[in-house]
Homo-oligomer: A and B are copies of this chain.
């Protein structure tokens, strides 16, 4: 019998009462956002038309190390948090590794992922400011579901622009969002100027995440009392998601453990940034030196093959530009890529940390990811989301290296969500019809050619 329990739940009392702002400890800050209208660094006020004030402040605030979590947010967190830290005993045994593998599981809520952590905060601040509606976009649907849950709880109407292909292929995701009173519109749509323009140019388009973002932003800035909210990439999102890492660290301390390696999947960076936050703090401040690994799909390799450059965050080019690892805002991963992690860029905070050598990154192919996912499901009896399974893949690979070297390293990875709405991809994998896709240098060049020119900054 094991001394360390399979699952460790903190009590409500042990839950962090503050988020942690990693920027406060970074030796160098990410470069400032650029307002595309002025081509000058964006100010907090520049963000007010898009974000509510408190969130605009959080976006720009690099000084405040710890930010109090509002009571109302904590109350809703308590409906599904603290999330468990799980020891992967069966996976360890099956691999025959001396490594100890832990994972922080964020999938035990109806949205099915960690996205709820930021959705709650963003819906709360919007309500608190007296806003009367919100807009967002969703691709695979986890973010849309999470935000619909949060908006329903705080009583604020929500419109979700859902990438048309997802709207058509994932009617059940749409149904969940509607159960939580969210209004779902397939994107591109005729409700926005950018949508109408794209439809006029290409009436049969299946849509893209960038286009859905542009529609949601346009709707927000042109509607009284309405703002836009985004589930990843942003500094504010990483702040809210720090709850994942803070809880993980407390739980590991209770077990007298500290990770040698911290692994997270990386799309826009929300989960990775949240999970690693307190461990990165230790690394930056010299208290500890864990390896921190971002895992991205080989089909959308922003860190491993992207450029560290200023880029548009949305296809419509209305939101502020950010310096980040990017494939170019025109880059669209192959249609056969399953699940999320398909954003062209990466959180500016994580991009800076990677650029400065604090973090490693690996890209993995999706058949290898689904191999890991099915193995994990059978051993740990949790059906993982394709996104999360990128982290599983690398955790397994690192544990196998430990087997070779005989090192009993402690590995922590983020299991961000469940895969119940991704069974079409699982079926394709089981049937042997899943393909891998690695963009050619030519593919990437097309994306890079679309990077913006900013006088005096990026010519």
Contact = CB atoms under 8 A, between A and B. Distances in A.
Interface in A357-394: 374, 377-383
B175 A427 contact: yes
A153 B12 contact: no
Contacts of A172: 420, 423-424, 427
Given A424-B172, A430-B179, A153 B378 contact: yes
B178 A430 contact: yes
A435 interface: no
Interface string A184-208: 0000000000000000000000000
Contacts of A424: 172, 175
A89 to B, nearest CB: 8
B149 A381 contact: yes
A-B CB proximity, top 10 nearest: A172-B423, A175-B423, A6-B78, A175-B427, A110-B383, A5-B12, A420-B420, A9-B9, A152-B378, A108-B108
A405 interface: no
A374 B110 CA distance: 12
Chain copies in complex: 2
Interface in A153-178: 153, 171-172, 175-176, 178
A7 B409 CA distance: 33
7 contacts: A5-B12, A79-B90, A171-B427, A172-B420, A179-B377, A179-B378, A180-B378
Question: Which secondary structure characterizes the binding site on chain A?
Answer: helix
Interface of A: 1, 5-7, 9, 11-12, 71, 76, 78-80, 90, 108-110, 112, 116, 149, 152-153, 171-172, 175-176, 178-181, 374, 377-383, 418, 420-421, 423-424, 426-427, 430
A381 B109 contact: yes
Given A79-B381, A176-B423, A179-B374, 10 more contacts: A6-B78, A7-B12, A7-B79, A76-B381, A116-B381, A172-B420, A172-B424, A175-B426, A175-B427, A179-B378
Nearest to A425: B175
Contacts of A116: 381
A6 B11 CA distance: 10
A214 B71 CA distance: 55
Task: Find the residue from A109, A110, A171, A374 having the highest chain B CB count within 10 A.
Answer: A110
Contacts of A152: 378
Contacts of A171: 423, 427
A149 B377 CA distance: 9
